[in-house]
């Protein structure tokens, strides 16, 4: 199994601060993740003053539109973030939420696009992204299979390289909502690379997802889960993110090295030590008929009859006396 492609999502955790965005890049680079993902918002192009808050968290933004406006960076600032990612060995990814954002990200120079859960049915945006010819990761969080069918068909008809993430749009996601069963369902349905986008604020969901076949992972990260912002409570901190990357690597390695339970040659020496031989648990006279109650098993193997063969011993007579705790061999029996 190839190691999963791991994306740490910043989203709006930078809270509109360019300095914080750069700080997040350095922090993610230390975790072992392969990519970092932002969101590119252009308020006038994607929203209006009528958009409600998903979570009424902001003390400074009168409307959701105002919040998106505060999250914007200029083209040059985005280019600087992309350059920083290149310098520390992270792939820069950002989800666009408008056609205008796609135009901006094309100038920045992204390798692929991530489609947020709310944009899966936005065929206008998907057409714009398809025209770039770049790979697309689709997050299925709010989509029914029927909607996802339409989106996957739309993109594959345009020869787009598509991957799909099982995702539950809940912040944070409870274990009852992980939807881990969907990973294999999506693989079987589409025959495409499938991954897992997590909002659980814990590491076990992604670890389980990898064990169940996820080829991509995405999760939110923050410096502290008590930070300001709509996603902080559904995020991992950087200690957890580092632990997750290591755990995923170990699980992937394990899955790439299946165990052959028919082959125990590697345990030959240990079997000799730990497995046992038959012995007698009392003094027995010549001619005594061996009973089950006369037998014990003792280490190591090979000094007496294998303990597994006790049934062939019970009922046989002894050729000679045996002392208590002596090993029992075939030569001792008539």
Q: Are residues 41 and 169 in the same domain?
A: yes
Q: Are residues 280 and 188 in the same domain?
A: no
**Is a pLDDT exceeding 70 seen at residue 57?**
no
Nearest partner of 294 among 276, 303, 304, 281, judged by Cα? 281
State the pLDDT at residue 289: 97
Q: Are residues 11 and 145 in the same domain?
A: yes
What is the rounded CA–CA span in Å between residue 172 and residue 21? 22
Residue 23 lies in a domain: yes
State the pLDDT at residue 261: 85
State the pLDDT at residue 269: 86
pLDDT tens-digit series, residues 184-233: 999 999 999 999 999 888 999 999 999 999 999 999 999 998 787 777 88
CATH number, position 328:
3.90.1210.10
pTM for this predicted structure: 0.84
Q: Are residues 283 and 187 in the same domain?
A: no
Question: Is the CB of residue 196 less than 8 Å from the CB of residue 206?
Answer: yes
Q: Are residues 328 and 302 in the same domain?
A: yes
Nearest partner of 7 among 77, 94, 72, judged by Cα? 94
Residue 260 lies in a domain: no
User: What is the share, in percent, of the chain residues with pLDDT greater than 70?
Assistant: 98
Q: Are residues 300 and 249 in the same domain?
A: no
Last residue of one domain, picked from the residues 255, 281, 310: 255
Nearest partner of 197 among 171, 228, 222, 223, judged by Cα? 171
Chain CA centroid to CA 218, Å: 8
pLDDT tens-digit series, residues 289-328: 999 999 999 999 999 999 999 999 999 999 999 999 999 9
Q: Are residues 211 and 314 in the same domain?
A: no
Q: Are residues 73 and 196 in the same domain?
A: yes
Domain that holds residue 191: 5-255
Last residue of one domain, picked from the residues 212, 228, 255: 255
State the pLDDT at residue 141: 82
Per-residue DSSP letters for 24-85?
HHHHHHTTT-SEEEEEE--HHHH--TTPPPSS---SS-SSHHHHHHHT---HHHHHHHHHHH
**Is a pLDDT exceeding 70 seen at residue 55?**
no
Residue 73 lies in a domain: yes
**Is a pLDDT exceeding 80 seen at residue 171?**
no
Which of the two residues, 260 and 10, has the higher pLDDT score? 10
Q: Can you list the alpha helix ranges (DSSP code H) found in the chain?
A: 18-29, 43-46, 64-70, 75-88, 99-108, 123-130, 145-156, 182-190, 204-211, 238-255, 268-274, 310-313
Last residue of one domain, picked from the residues 221, 255, 289: 255
pLDDT tens-digit series, residues 14-54: 999 999 999 999 999 999 999 999 999 999 999 888 877 76
What is the rounded CA–CA span in Å between residue 115 and residue 134? 12
Residue 200 lies in a domain: yes
What is the rounded CA–CA span in Å between residue 174 and residue 322? 65
Q: Are residues 24 and 172 in the same domain?
A: yes
State the pLDDT at residue 314: 97
Range among 56-60, 94-98, 173-177, 254-258 rated most confident: 94-98
Which of the two residues, 5 and 64, has the higher pLDDT score? 5
- Tell me the average pLDDT across 66-70: 90
State the pLDDT at residue 58: 64
**Is a pLDDT exceeding 80 seen at residue 183?**
yes
Range among 79-83, 170-174, 202-206, 262-266 rated most confident: 79-83
Q: Are residues 118 and 161 in the same domain?
A: yes
Question: Is the CB of residue 116 less than 8 Å from the CB of residue 136?
Answer: no
Q: Are residues 162 and 276 in the same domain?
A: no
| Per-chain mean pLDDT for the chain | 93
State the pLDDT at residue 39: 96
Question: Is the CB of residue 333 less than 8 Å from the CB of residue 300?
Answer: no
**Is a pLDDT exceeding 90 seen at residue 80?**
yes
Number of domains in the chain: 2
């Amino acid at each position: 199994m190839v190691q999963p492609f791991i994306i740490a999502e910043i989203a709006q955790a930078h809270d509109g601060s360019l300095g914080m965005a750069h700080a997040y890049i350095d922090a993610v680079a230390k975790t072992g993740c392969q990519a970092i993902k932002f969101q590119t918002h252009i308020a006038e192009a994607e929203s209006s003053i009528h958009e409600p808050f998903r979570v009424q968290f902001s003390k400074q933004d009168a409307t959701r539109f105002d919040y998106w406006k505060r999250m914007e960076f200029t083209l040059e600032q985005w280019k600087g973030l992309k350059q920083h990612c290149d310098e520390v060995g992270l792939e820069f990814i950002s989800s666009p939420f408008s056609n205008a954002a796609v135009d901006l990200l094309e100038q920045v120079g992204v390798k692929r696009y991530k489609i947020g859960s709310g944009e899966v049915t936005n065929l206008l945006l998907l057409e714009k992204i398809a025209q770039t010819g770049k790979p697309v990761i689709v997050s299925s969080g709010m989509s029914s299979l029927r909607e996802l069918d339409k989106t996957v068909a739309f993109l594959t008809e345009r020869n787009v390289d598509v991957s799909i993430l099982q995702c539950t749009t809940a912040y944070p996601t409870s274990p009852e909502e992980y939807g881990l069963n969907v990973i294999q369902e999506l693989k079987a349905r589409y025959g495409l690379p499938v991954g897992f986008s997590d909002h659980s604020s814990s590491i076990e969901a992604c670890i389980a997802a990898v064990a169940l076949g996820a080829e991509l992972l995405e999760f939110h990260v923050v410096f502290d889960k008590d930070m300001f912002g709509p996603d902080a409570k559904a995020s991992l901190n950087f200690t957890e993110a580092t632990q997750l990357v290591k755990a995923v690597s170990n699980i992937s390695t394990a899955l790439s090295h299946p165990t052959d339970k028919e082959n125990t040659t590697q345990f030959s020496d240990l079997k000799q030590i730990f497995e046992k031989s038959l012995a007698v648990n009392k003094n027995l006279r010549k001619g005594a008929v061996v009973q089950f109650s006369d037998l014990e098993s003792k280490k190591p193997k090979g000094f007496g009859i294998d303990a597994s063969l006790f049934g062939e011993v019970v009922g046989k007579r002894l050729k000679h006396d045996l002392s208590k705790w002596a090993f029992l061999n075939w030569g001792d029996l008539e």
